[in-house]
Each structure stands twice: as C-alpha cells, then as structure tokens.
Structure 1
Amino acid sequence: MATWDLSGTQHHVLICNGGSCLRKQGDEVTLALREEVALHGAENLIHTTRTRCNGRCEDACVVTVYPEGIWYKDIGPESARLLVREHLLQGRPLYERMAYSYRNERFVPTGSGAKGVPRH
C-alpha cells in the first residue's frame, strides 16, 4: 500500500468500519479488498483507508472510491474483490452496488436502488 508517496495512486478507497458496517462484515471486506489489491500487484495504484462511521448505516457495508466519488452499498468480501477487479483495475463501476456518484458538482443517487435516476 502506497502511504508515503501517493504520486502514482489512481484510486483512494475508503472502507467503513463503523459499528453497522462491522456487523455487516466490514473487517472482512477490508481484508478481502486489500488482499485482492495485493494479488494484482496494485498497491501503488490503489490506496485503502479503513474509516469509522460514514453515516450511511442503512447501506452497510459502505465503500467509497475516489476520485470518482462513488459510494457503494451492501459490499461483502466477494463484491469487494469484484470491485477491485472490475472498477479499480478495469474502469467498470459496479452499478448494481452504487448508492451515490459525484456528477455535476454534487452527489446524486445512482445504481439499481435509485428511482428515476439513470445509470451512468
């Protein structure tokens, strides 16, 4: 994990480890995501940070990806691994897990759970 020199970093991933997310496998999500990053040798491209509560407890476990500003919901260990392979390494976000994305200078509901809001 690149911690001192972030100049090659392409994504910053925030993994919620607040109470609700921990009850929904937050620790396992953190470990799975970091293991998948290491498996692909992408530690210098993807920086991960374990956070406390992000305030979206109903979406637990929450994972946020920057610079895109995508907030994912209902992430488990397997979807965390998929997130690394698809979104972070291939540039294909997991639309079915998206809760919000940053568009037009604000966060908007997105993904399968958003009513009346088109997917990207």
Structure 2
Amino acid sequence: MGKNISKVNTTFQFCDGGSCQKAKGEIAIREARAYLRNKKFWDTTHTIKTRCNGRCEDAPTWIVQPGNFWYKNLTPDKAVSILKSHLEKDLPVEEYLLYKEGWSMLTSNNEKTVAPVVFNSKIDPELGEVLIARSFASDQHLYPLFKYLFQEPRPIAIQQYDHKIIEITSPHQVDYTDLYEVVITGKEVDLQLAIAGIPKDISEEIADRKVSIAEVIWLKKTTIFTKAIRLKNKKGKHLVTLWIKEKDTSTWEHILTVYLAMSPNNIRINNEV
C-alpha cells in the first residue's frame, strides 16, 4: 500500500544526482530517514530522492517544502539538525541554507561562473568563413529543440551525415521514450540519435550516433540557408545538420533566445579568427 500523503505536511527532497552521490549524500539520507522513523515523524513527512537539481557545486543538497528551503553541503550531523529544526520548531537552519524565498543571492562558497555562449569567426573546412557558437549537446536542450523544429514543423532542411539536403514540409513525430535515443520519423526524414548520457559499455552502434558536439553556425555569405545547427559525435563525425532559411527570422530568434540564452538584439560575437 502506498503512503497516505494526505497526512504529510513536510517533504524532504534529497538530491541523488552524480555529484551528490560522489559527495556521499546517501549517508546523510540514511541518517535522515532513520531519524524520521525512530522519532515517529514518518507518517507526517515524505522523503524523495530526486535526480540532479542543478547545484552540483554545493553537493550534497536538499530541498525542504513547504517554504522552498535549499540546503547545501549536507552531512549526517547537519541532516539531523535540519530535521529537528523544521519538525520541532518549524524553522530552517539558516547557517546551512543555500537559498530561501525572499533572498536575492545564493550563499554558496563554490559558485561557478558559466561563460556565456559566443559566436567566433572561423574558417570552416566545409562551409568556409562562418561564425560558430559551441552550444549545448544534452538531452535537456536537444529534445525540446527537436520538438520545436519538427512537430509543427518549422521551414528547415536536414542533412544527415554526408547526404543531400532535404527540406522538411510536413510534421514529424519526435519520440524520446527510449533510455538513450530520440527518434524522429515522418514523410521526409527518419533520424535516430543518442542524446542522453550513455554508459561506457554501450554498443558501438549507439555510441557512434551519440551527440557530443553541437554547433550553431551562421554563414557570412548570402544564400537560401544561412544558419544551421550541426551535431557531431565524440570523434567529430558529422551526424546531422539542421539548416535554417535566411528569411526564417522566427526560428532563428527562438534558437538565439531559448537554445543559446542570447538576445537577438545583442548577439555576442568575437571577430578574432
């Protein structure tokens, strides 16, 4: 029988992503769950192991609800004191907090500065003089992008491997129910790419079509297709290029704002070759 969540008034979300596992977050989780059972809080609380919550530099991390309290650098001792404070006093432990509602800043000692995506001038062996931005190759970025480009569809064209360019004129199904691979099927295209993280012992066939490099390309010459997203595997093998028409400003603006987090009115360009 499942837990009666109608009795739950406090939820603890324990990050169980890779960095939190490496930081021995599981030990703090065990102590927390033991405390909740022994102190008879089990029925009125709920504990959930989550995937990565995006704060790897502060691992191990927890989130306590209600209140949206984020905790950092958890240890078994900190874990128990946090539980006691929330459940017995209804108060957070301020000194262990990473963030709480109302704060304008995080209290991280390990904050990482992520460099913004920039277009760089390059002489590409295939395309000549171009601007290239190294972009994001994770499934969190590629799957939404594929849905946006293929399901409506957008007026794009696709070039698989070294094959000819095919224009997309009809909606395509974008299926990401497989553990690793997304499958795009329709009238014009059948495309299968691995976009999730893959284990080292995966088959060579899947590893060969694993997207590891994503580039947004802006041709300096005038032609029908002047922008593109080029995807390659770890060895640099070309998997697919998605071409965008010069006149299709809507798709280009979406890629800039959503995919690259860049304003169309303030495109970051480094002109040094």
Superposition TM-score, scaled by structure 1 size: 0.81
Following TM superposition, the consecutive aligned residue runs of length 4 or more in structure 1 with deviations greater than 6 angstroms are none
1:64: Cα distance to partner? 0.2
RMSD of aligned residue pairs (Cα, Å): 1.9
How far does the alpha carbon of each residue in 1:8-51 deviate from its partner, in whole angstroms, 9 at most, with x for none?
11111100111111111111111111011112100111100011
1:108: Cα distance to partner? 4.0
Partner of 1:109: 105
Q: How does 1:29-108 map to 2 (within 5 A)?
A: 29-103=28-102, 108=104
Letter matched to residue 44 of structure 1: D
Q: Residues of 2 paired with 1:11 and 1:71: CA distance? A: 14
Partner of 2:147: none
Q: 1:3/1:75 Cα in 2 relative to 1: closer, same or farther (>3 Å)?
A: farther
Q: Residues of 2 paired with 1:108 and 1:36: CA distance? A: 33
> 1:12–1:65: 8 Å Cα contact kept in structure 2?
yes
Q: Residues of 1 paired with 2:22 and 2:10: CA distance? A: 26
* Percentage of identical aligned residues: 30
> 1:56–1:62: 8 Å Cα contact kept in structure 2?
yes
1:79: Cα distance to partner? 0.6
Aligned length: 108
Q: Residues of 1 paired with 2:59 and 2:44: CA distance? A: 25
Higher RCO (C-alpha 8 Å, min separation 6): 1
- Structure 2 unaligned regions, length at least 5: 109-273
